[in-house]
Structure 1
Amino acid sequence: MTPGPAIVLIAPDHPDEMQAGFARYVQEYDVRVTGSCVEALVTTREILVAGGTVALVASESVLPDAEVLHCFAKLREKVPTARRLIAAHWDRFLTDAPALRSAMARGEFDAFLLMPRGTRDEEFHHAVTELLSDWGATVPDPEVVSVKVISPVRDGLTLAIRDFLDRMGMPHRVWEPDTDAGRHVLDLWDGEVAFPLVMASDRRVIQPSTVREVAQAFYGAPTEIDVDQVVDLAIVGGGPAGLAAAVYSASEGLSTIVLEAEAIGGQAGTSSMIRNYLGFPRGISGMRLAQRARNQALRFGTRFYAGQVVDELRVGVDGQPHVLCTDTGEVRARTVLVSSGVAYRKLRVEPLEELVGSGVHYGAAMSAAREMEGRDVFVVGGGNSAGQAAVHLARFARSVTIVVRRPTLAATMSSYLIAEIELNRRISVRPSTQVVDGGGEARLEWLELETAGAGRQRVDAGGLFLLLGAEPHCEWLPGEIVRDGDGFVLTGRDVPKELWIGDLPPANLATSVPGVFAAGDVRAGSMKRVASATGEGASVVSLVHAHLGAG
């Protein structure tokens, strides 16, 4: 039997207080107390040799045989997936805070806490459980699953389904057909067997050919809406902008529906850790942020339909509602928010396009990170999404190389991410470089890189993650909704003057069609940041009220 995950405590001066602080975790974790960095390294090695793993390392701020940050660096080499926190004794908390907090900002560890001074220190335990929850969502297979996936191979479809389930926050595992779980699901399936098979917690088994079929099976289709009902606000796109609009709209009593083509959360939902989002000092994964926002919107009455691609928007005339058309039904709405976001641009290297899903991935593909253990991985892109993906992949891969066309990352990536990348020994950056070729037998095995002034080089590659900037999802919009030369939706004063009504421009987030608004990355001039998209989505609701009131 595989040992359970361990928590390693380094407590040279206050072992009793530290052990008491972690007493509530003993039942589910193998809690080990050590007195020095060397002892912690030996203990960690023993755990790994026995087939276990370390979920968390918690240390006092001062160690007898090493600086705590140097010790964490050594432990990171042995267990890169372990979360790291410093629990300073109250005698040293204020003294050690300035230097340690700056190191935390650089990503050298995850949390700086005050050691518990008694029982039920829930602020301390909230931080610890957040770190353990983050570890549990990204590293091990879940103990309790809500979805079973049966497949003999880890092909592109199976991986895409896993990625969707990860982004939706649905615990799942993949089993081989000849396992107990596999045979159980096969017994429940009546038709001809083809893989993958997917079984939800209600024991319903489906045989999907696309991820959209999984989404629609779990989250329904808009045909379930009463055809006579006209909703107040229909939101196209369930990213940060759409989720914020859903929360504020539904909380103010407006009937609200969200149609999302993929997983709720959009591109932001693929971010392994967003550290600069207001109110989350230890950071939050995109999946968890989206999950919390979705649950909040559901609480107020929003209805979500995932896996729903909107093919057409028919603009309402003479007071008639707008109509959103999907292949499974239509939604009629008094107002519409376009928050469908952007897609990563294609690399357009044909041999690599043929390997998408087999070592080549557009976006962060969170599930694929676990498949990268021991591999050399390449991330193409210079934005925050690329940096976050590289940091997360470095927990699993042998090496991660960021490939960027610019000479540095400084112009496109936040400084906190650049600092974290510079400190991570597994991550390197290749500036002024692009991927020009690649291939492999059945899956990615090699890439050819071209660096300005240095020519081409062929390298071994076990994974390629492409985060290449943004192209808007706007091909479904009618011509009445004006866009710029790159396809982004124009709003406010950017709308051509000849389309203004009474010499007044539309409101800041209003398009050229009354009652149709745009927010987030799809809007021309947006900041392409999670926080700004959230603000725009929330701001739209007052404009919706104004439009409905005027009608």
Structure 2
Amino acid sequence: MAQPAAPARTVILTVDDDPGVSRAVARDLRRRYGESHRVVRAEDGETALDALRELKLRGDQVAVILADYRMPRMNGIEFLERAMDIHPAARRVLLTAYADTNAAIDAINVIDLDHYLLKPWDPPEEKLYPVLDDLLAAWRASDHRPVPVTKVVGHRWSARSSEVREFLARNQVPYRWYSVDEPEGGRLLEAAGQDGRRLPLVVTPEGTPLVEPGDAELAGQVGLATTPTEEFYDLVVIGGGPAGLGAAVYGASEGLRTLLVERQATGGQAGQSSRIENYLGFPDGVSGAQLTGRARRQAARFGAEILTAREVAGLEVNGAARTVRFSDGSAVAAHSVILATGVSYRQLDAPGLAELTGCGVFYGSALTQAPSCANQDVYVVGGANSAGQAAMYLARNCRSVTLLVRGESLTASMSHYLIQQIEATPNISVRTRTVVEAAHGSDRLDKLSLRHVDSGEDELVDAQWLFVFIGAAPLTGWLDGTVLRDPHGFILAGPDMTSDGSPPPGWEPVRPPYHLETSVPGVFVAGDARAASAKRVASAVGEGAMAVMLVHRYLEQS
């Protein structure tokens, strides 16, 4: 098949089993349309179908298909019928001899044939080009523009399909979602040679099909860096939330060879927030994705290297080096490390929830799923800012939003401005002292059992959407035995490591630990993973910047 041309050029495909005729057809087409269209030729139906599948996966648009009627194994009508399943918008032309005109006329009704041409058509200026001009004009009028984005085909109520969409959205990778039940979803599956039993299917803009991809494979195929370019850095930042991004910006801008490692997507919990309205400098508010997306671009502009979909499994001290080990066994070393691993939403412990996660039950993915639950009733569990922000965002398009809060009121953990907004939003209701007792449904959430904490009264409600924002668990289990942590897993630093503020046991430097330094010299902590942190975006960013200042101090004295 011919080499790919510029994405703006649509395709005219011709198939004829006679090599001489095939070349002649392609020559005539290129002479007239070669500058504006890519001409692809094939000499049998199966080869032409393979070409159409490849074009489909790459997102190329096929404007016209010309097929010879008398081809062995698969005649032109049979070929065009199968081609319709792959590129239904392409105009279809059958090339026939005088003896085949009746078959061609019948094909107009059978496969909605657009035109048939009698061979030979010399001169093409009279018998070929006017027909093609009309067909191309009709195709352009239907506005079939190419979509150079990643495509995802899956089940709407599939946990892994939901995870893939969340991964792409949070990493700011443009994608288009197709349900397996949609015609276009079926066409993409057929083009990739899949029958729908293994999903999701991800098709990259280059046309590479990925079947049930893991995050690392997906990241590598959509252009996200997953492998460090060097073996040793001045600073490795673990975690891509506000604290990690702040550290990466300040570290790289001040000349440190900086590597940021993120296990899923930059932004952390803040990146999932629909609206942050109390962050300095944004009087009209800013979404978490916008704020952290800008921070990521800023860090990259200063020269920070950013790895995505890399799980850190261990931290070792090797002399003056601090070695970070990944879950696949590889490692990278640095003079210093900043732990900005953040926290994750705690899982709601109730029967049925684990089985339905991703199938109506979601943890912190209101932004991604919001379009799917428009004009429906949704439930949000949680009483802190993240839950309030999600409720406000969902209320824009949902019929009703019910906020389920275990506590007496929202005032204990939610900002005053959010409480006021919720009270002023008519389709948001708040049910305090209420918990989820169980979730019900076979392949998707169908009902919720709610219980009032004080009265013990149970209630069964219809529910297809549940978003959970409860508490925070630090992502520090992999540091067990390496740095000091409190009983809840949060990392201790500076004077907080001991009751009297003295250096921790085994501390070797003659100086005391710096304020954000952990029990391992040269290893610092910033953001929500630190014990007694403020759990606010602004404080996390500030701690990231402060940790870099302390890294400089550490490097100067080492």
Partner of 2:449: 448
Distance 2:439 2:259 in 1: 43
1:206 aligns with 2:200: no
| Aligned-pair CA distance for 1:170 | 2.2
Assess, with a 3 A threshold, how the Cα gap between structure 1 residues 252 and 144 changes in structure 2: closer, same or farther.
farther
Counterpart residue number, 1:487: 489
1:404 alignment counterpart: 405
SS in structure 2 at match of 1:289: helix
Deviation for aligned residue 1:261: 1.1
Cα-to-partner distance string for 1:213-234 (whole Å, 9 max, x where unaligned)? 42343355654534xx311111
Question: By how many angstroms is 1:371 displaced?
Answer: 1.5
Q: 1:194 aligns with which of 194, 198, 201?
A: 198
* Contact 1:495 1:505 (C-alpha < 8 Å) held by counterparts: no
**Residue in structure 2 matching 1:230, options 207, 229, 232:** 232
Task: Please say if residues 157 and 358 of structure 2, whose CA atoms lie closer than 8 Å, have aligned partners that are also in contact.
Answer: no
In structure 1, the partner of 2:77 is none
Distance 1:160 1:222 in 2: 18
Partners of 2:516 and 2:431 lie apart in 1 by 39
The change in CA–CA distance for 1:352 and 1:502 in structure 2 (over 3 A counts) is closer
Match of residue 252 from structure 2: 250
Task: Describe the SS at the equivalent of 2:356.
Answer: coil
In the alignment, which residue of structure 2 is the partner of 1:428? Answer: 429
Return closer, same or farther for 1:301/1:447 CA change in 2, 3 Å cut-off: same
Q: Which residue of 1 aligns with 2:524?
A: 517
Count of aligned positions: 407
Distance 2:551 2:172 in 1: 30
For 2:441 and 2:279, locate their aligned partners in 1 and report how far apart those are by CA, in whole Å.
39
Q: Amino acid of the residue matched to residue 402 of structure 1?
A: L
Taking the aligned partners of 1:304 and 1:191, their CA distance within structure 2 comes to: 36
Is the Cα–Cα contact under 8 Å of residues 157 and 211 in structure 1 kept in the other structure? no
- Contact 1:274 / 1:284 at 8 angstroms: preserved in 2? yes
Q: Measure how far apart 1:202 and its partner are.
A: 3.3
Q: What is the alpha-carbon distance in structure 1 between the residues aligned to residue 396 and residue 197 of structure 2? A: 36
The letter of the residue matching 1:197 is L
Of residues 141, 159, 162 in structure 2, which corresponds to 1:159? 162
Pairing 1:116-515 to 2, within 5 Å after superposition: 146-151=149-154, 153-176=156-179, 179-180=183-184, 183=187, 186-187=190-191, 194-218=198-222, 223-226=227-230, 229-316=231-318, 318-327=319-328, 329-454=330-455, 455-496=457-498, 497=502, 498-499=504-505, 500=507, 504-515=511-522
C-alpha distance in structure 2 between counterparts of 1:270 and 1:179, whole Å: 31
> How far apart, CA to CA, are the structure 2 residues paired with 1:360 and 1:283?
28
Secondary structure, aligned partner of 1:183 = helix
Cα distance between partner residues in 2 of 1:326 and 1:546: 31
Task: Give the Cα–Cα distance (whole angstroms) in 2 for the partners of residues 452 and 204 of structure 1.
Answer: 52
1:185–1:199: 8 Å Cα contact kept in structure 2? no
- For 2:538, give the aligned amino acid: A
- Report the Cα distance in structure 2 between the residues aligned to 1:188 and 1:224, rounded to whole angstroms: 31
Partner of 2:69: none
Q: Deviations over 1:441-495 (max 9, x none)?
A: 3111111111133311111112111111111011111413100111100011011
Specify whether residues 377 and 473 from structure 1 end up closer, same or farther in structure 2 by C-alpha distance, changes over 3 A only: same
Task: Point out the more displaced range, 235-244 or 445-454.
Answer: 445-454
**Higher Cα Rg: structure 1 or 2?**
2
**TM-score for both structures, normalised by structure 1:** 0.70
Cα distance in 2 for residues equivalent to 1:219 and 1:234: 21
Q: Distance between the aligned counterparts of 2:436 and 2:475, measured in 1?
A: 25
Question: Partners in 1 of 2:196 and 2:453 — Cα distance?
Answer: 54
Separation in 1, partners of 2:275, 2:196: 41
Question: Structure 1 509/224 Cα, relative in aligned 2: closer, same or farther at 3 Å?
Answer: closer
Secondary structure of 1:311's aligned partner: strand
Match of 2:72 in 1: none
How far does residue 208 in structure 1 lie from its aligned partner after superposition? 3.0
1:259–1:208: structure 2 CA closer, same or farther, 3 Å change rule? farther
The 3-state SS of whatever aligns with 1:321 is strand
Point out the more displaced range, 290-299 or 364-373: 364-373
Cross-structure match for 1:8: none
Cα separation, partners in 2 of 1:323 and 1:399, compared to 1, 3 Å: same
Residue 13 of structure 2: aligned partner? none
Displacement after TM superposition at 1:349 (Å): 1.0
Q: Is the 8 A contact 2:233 2:333 kept in 1?
A: yes
**Worse overlay, 237-246 or 469-478:** 469-478
Residue type at the aligned position of 1:327? D
Q: What is the one-letter code of the residue matched to 2:416?
A: S
Counterpart-to-counterpart distance in 1, 2:192 and 2:448: 43
Is the contact made by 1:231 and 1:332 (CA closer than 8 Å) also made in structure 2? yes
> In the alignment, which residue of structure 1 is the partner of 2:135?
none
Aligned partners of 1:200, 1:520: CA distance in 2, in Å? Answer: 35
Looking at structure 2, the residues matched to 187 and 396 of structure 1 have their Cα atoms a distance apart, in angstroms, of 35
Partners of 1:453 and 1:234 in 2: how far apart? 49
Contact residue 268 and residue 530 of structure 1 kept, 8 A: yes
Local SS of the residue matching 2:409: coil
Query: What is the RMSD computed on CA atoms of the aligned residues?
Result: 2.4
One-letter amino acid matched to 1:217: Q
Partner SS for 1:354: helix
Contact 1:521 1:528 in 2 (8 A): yes
Residue of structure 2 equivalent to 1:63: none
Q: Sort the Cα spacing of 1:166 and 1:320 in 2 relative to 1 into closer, same or farther, 3 A.
A: closer
Displacement after TM superposition at 1:374 (Å): 2.9
> How far apart are 1:173 and its partner, in Å?
1.2
Q: Using the alignment, how far apart are the partners of 1:448 and 1:188 within structure 2?
A: 42
Encode CA deviations 1:412-436: one digit per residue, 9 max, x unaligned.
0001110110011111111111111
Counterpart of 1:544 in structure 2 is 551
Letter of the structure 2 residue corresponding to residue 450 of structure 1: R
8 Å CA contact retained: 1:169, 1:288: no
What TM-score results when the alignment is normalised by the length of structure 2? 0.69
**Retained in 1: the 8 A contact 2:189–2:195?**
no
Q: Is the 8 A contact 2:249 2:298 kept in 1?
A: yes
Distance 1:278 1:480 in 2: 35
Letter aligned with residue 205 of structure 1:
P
Answer with 275-284 or 527-536: which moved more: 275-284
How far apart, CA to CA, are the structure 1 residues paired with 2:526 and 2:260? 14
2:321–2:333: 8 Å Cα contact kept in structure 1?
no
- Which ranges of structure 2 fall in alignment gaps of 5 or more residues? 1-144
CA contact (8 A) 1:336 1:515 kept: yes
The residue type paired with residue 279 of structure 1 is G
Aligned equivalent of 1:7: none
Shift of residue 235, structure 1, vs aligned partner: 0.9
Q: 1:189 and 1:241 mapped to 2: Cα distance? A: 44
Instruction: Give distance in 1, aligned partners of 2:155 and 2:452.
Output: 40
Preserved CA contact (<8 Å) 2:225 2:306: no
C-alpha change, 1:190 and 1:546, in structure 2 (3 Å) is farther
CA contact (8 A) 1:163 1:365 kept: no
